[in-house]
Structure 1
Amino acid sequence: MQYPFVIKASGIREPFDPTKLETSLRHAGTPEDMIVSIVNTVSAEVVENMETRDIYRRAFSLLRKNKTYKPIALKYSLRRAVAEMGPNGHPFEELVGELLRYKGYDVRVAIMVKGWCVEHEVDVSARQDGTHRLIECKFHNNHGIRSDLKTVLYVQARFEDIEKRQLQDDSEHDRFHEAWLASNTKFTENAIVYAECVGMKLLSWSYPKGAGLRDLMNEVRVFPITILPGLSLSQKQALMNRGVATCTQLVRNEALARELGVMPKKWAQVKNEIALLCGPSAKEMPQEDEVVLS
């Protein structure tokens, strides 16, 4: 069957591919019979030059109609929810930090570290098993934009400047051993090749395969607050401005939610949505402490 051409987030036109829709539904945990039903319905409605975001919105609306599939519907909107964490990149840094906390890392977000030439703001510092990681976070509102070779070169240069200073100071405790680059979109092929060559770890939406950002969020059940339909856009933005970027952080900051005008009835709805996504253990992670490395 010949399908109409659709427009991707990057602006590129390509024939509609129903298998991509199937894959996205499967990643969200949709049952196979529901996948078949949604793909058949949506495929019949696709028209020439339709935007892929409208295709996925239609699939989301079909999922949301059935209350049984509410948790799946929430997860299906995950990529869009992450893209809505802007306009600045700090909430995404908080998300990456929270994901790593739930993986057992000792994490600090947005710290200042002296390099050999200049001082640098490190987006995320993560320590585990004696290895200290410097993590740069690259956020894009449009998932059609890729992080390229220039970004990887920039991160490597910062890492080397900091490493030179720390080797000179002979401070093993504070020393960074690895550089990471985390992005909510994708990397260009050259960026991946260079990162592999210099030993930099890359983390993007679906890279490494089976261990990307989407996989990590589903594994540890940490999700951005932008995924919650129970909060208004202004409430989400106000919370992110106060450093609360994930559902798990929100559960630990109920008083702040009330302060920002989330009424008791609405808060009960939000807590139910968080429980569906994160499970009952969302409140167990302790608050992080602030430190400055020099």
Structure 2
Amino acid sequence: MTRSQTNKQAILFADIADSTRLYDALGDAPARELIAHCLNLLSDIITAGHGIAIKTIGDEIMSTFNLPHHAASAAVQMQEQVSLDSMLNADNIQLRIGLHYGPVIQEEKDVYGDAVNVAARMVEQAKAGQIITTKGTLDLLGTRHQTTARIVDQTRIKGKRSPIDIYELNWGQPEELTMITTITGDLMRPEKGHDLALGLQFRGLRFAVNHKNPVINLGRDTTNGIVVNDPKVSRLHARIELRKDKFILVDQSTNGTYLSREDGLTALLRRDEIALPDRGIIGLGQKAESNDTGAILFEML
């Protein structure tokens, strides 16, 4: 009979992003060789970082760590080493990493349970080059990670009553950090009828996006619907469009677009898009407070 043991561990999933592209571009044998090289590199990092490589599943490796900061350090080293490896760089190999610390059930050489499910959800949320974790795990990490991490989303996880906040851990220079910006679940408004409208306010002027006027452009150029004359703002910086009863903020800038929610959390968009919550503040090229001259306030009408 198999004996099981329950304790808390950090679970880390590392996945080779867009691996099907490698098979298409290189062929089966060279692609498998490259993926094996990458997974061997990750396994070595796990072992050296006080972790255990549990198993590989195709182009993904799953590992456990007794301490959350060991898992976070290993995740950073994985991203750094892959970015520096000449063999992997030649074919633009990138990782998606998700990690979470929590209760697990250990059975022989495998692990199951809540932390595994949450960590698996984190790697699903990650984009190429990102390390994604939960607020609870971030709170257990050191100052270095806590001061550079940024909230990127809220997501629902099976078995959890409420959505959880998820964060990206920075492993490069701050300007290299890219945010996940597809907010789901409760942050998206319920569907409404064709009277749906979004009101915007900028420097005392009022604007609206609705079914008659489904798009408004934001930027420094005078052809935009809302003109923000600031050096950090691109000529055609961003736009808001009504799409299937949701208002979508689309960034197309150099310095990014900041979306501050009513609960005080801020997401940064870089060449990405996000569904707007019921109300908040948009900052072009920099975070904006409600009384800033560059703040664009919005609210569902």
Q: Same fold (TM over 0.5)?
A: no
Normalized per residue, the structure richer in helix is 1
TM-score range, shorter chain: under 0.3
Which fold has the larger relative contact order, with Cα–Cα distance below 8 Å and residues 6 or more apart in sequence? 1
Normalized per residue, the structure richer in strand is 2
- Of structures 1 and 2, the larger Rg is shown by 2
